[in-house]
Amino acid sequence: MLETSNPGSNAGVIIHDLSIRYAEQIIPLDSLDLDEVLAEPNLQLSGSISGSVSEGLRIITEQTFRYGFRKKVTETEAEVTGRTRFRANIRLHNGINGLTLKIVDAGGCVLDKKQFDLHYKGSFREWNETIFIAFLLAILIRGLVMQAFWIPTGSMEPTLFGEKRNVYNQLERSGDRILVSRFAYVFDLSLDGRIPFGPRIWFKMPERGDIIVFKYPDPNINAPSKDYIKRVVGLPGDRVEIDRQGILYINGVPLYEPYIAEPPLSEFAPRTVPKDSLFVLGDNRNNSADSRYWGWMPLKNLKGQAVFNYLPLNRISPIRSYSHDLTPKAALQDNY
pLDDT at 139: 66
pLDDT at residue number 181: 94
What is the DSSP code string of 250-302?
A: ETTEEPP-TT-SS--SS-EEEEEPPTTEEEEE-SSGGG---HHHH--EEGGGE
pLDDT for residue 330 is more than 50: no
One-letter amino acid for residue 299 of the chain: L
Q: What pLDDT, on the 0 to 100 scale, is given for residue 244? A: 94
Q: What is the CATH architecture assignment of 3-121?
A: Distorted Sandwich (2.70)
Q: Provide φ and ψ at 50, rounded to 5°.
A: -145, 165
Query: Among the ranges 28-32, 96-100, 124-128, 131-135, which has the highest mean pLDDT value?
Result: 96-100
**Is 247 within 8 Å of 263 (Cβ atoms)?**
yes
pLDDT tens string 52-63: 777 778 899 999
Q: Given this model, what pLDDT does residue 1 score?
A: 34
Separation of alpha carbons 171 and 328, rounded Å? 45
Question: What pLDDT, on the 0 to 100 scale, is given for residue 245?
Answer: 94
**Alpha-carbon gap, residue 13 to 59, rounded angstroms:** 11
Side chain identity, residue 240: V
In CATH, what is the architecture of 131-335? Answer: Ribbon (2.10)
Q: Which residues contact 88 (CB under 8 A, 6 or more apart)?
A: 44, 45, 46, 59, 61, 76, 78, 79
Beta-bridge partners for 113? 5, 102
pLDDT tens-digit profile of 124-183?
A: 555 666 677 777 777 666 666 888 999 999 999 999 999 998 888 888 899 999 999 988
Q: Are 198 and 191 in contact (CB under 8 A)?
A: yes
pLDDT digits (tens, 9 = 90+) for 297-323: 999 999 999 999 999 999 999 999 998
Comparing CA positions, the residue from 176, 143, 205 lying closest to residue 319 is: 176
Residues in the chain: 336
Mean pLDDT for the chain overall: 86
**How many Å apart are CA 92 and CA 118, to the nearest integer?**
8
Per the CB < 8 A criterion, the answer to whether 178 and 151 are in contact is yes
Pairing status of strand 110-120 against strand 37-38: parallel
What's the whole-number mean pLDDT along residues 218-228? 92
Catalytic residue among 102, 113, 114, 230: 230
Condensed to tens digits (0 to 9), the pLDDT of residues 268-298 reads: 999 999 999 999 999 999 999 999 999 999 9
Phi then psi for residue 121, to 5 deg, are: -135, 120
Is residue 213 predicted with pLDDT exceeding 90? Answer: yes
Q: Is 230 a catalytic residue?
A: yes
Say whether 155 is catalytic.
yes
Helices (H) and strands (E) in the chain, counts: 3, 27
- The alpha carbon of residue 173 and the mean position of all alpha carbons in its chain are separated, in whole angstroms, by 33
- Domain range summary for the chain, segments of one domain joined by +: 3-121, 131-335
Active-site residue, selected from the candidate residues 19, 113, 114, 155: 155
CA distances from 149 to 122, 207, 213, 250, 305 (A): 38, 21, 9, 30, 11
Estimate to the nearest angstrom the gap between the alpha carbon of 235 and the chain centroid. Answer: 32
323 contacts 211 by C-beta, under 8 angstroms: no
Confidence at residue 2, expressed as pLDDT on a 0 to 100 scale: 38
Report percent pLDDT > 90 for the chain.
Answer: 52
Give which of 177, 32, 8, 180 is closest to 106, Cα–Cα: 8
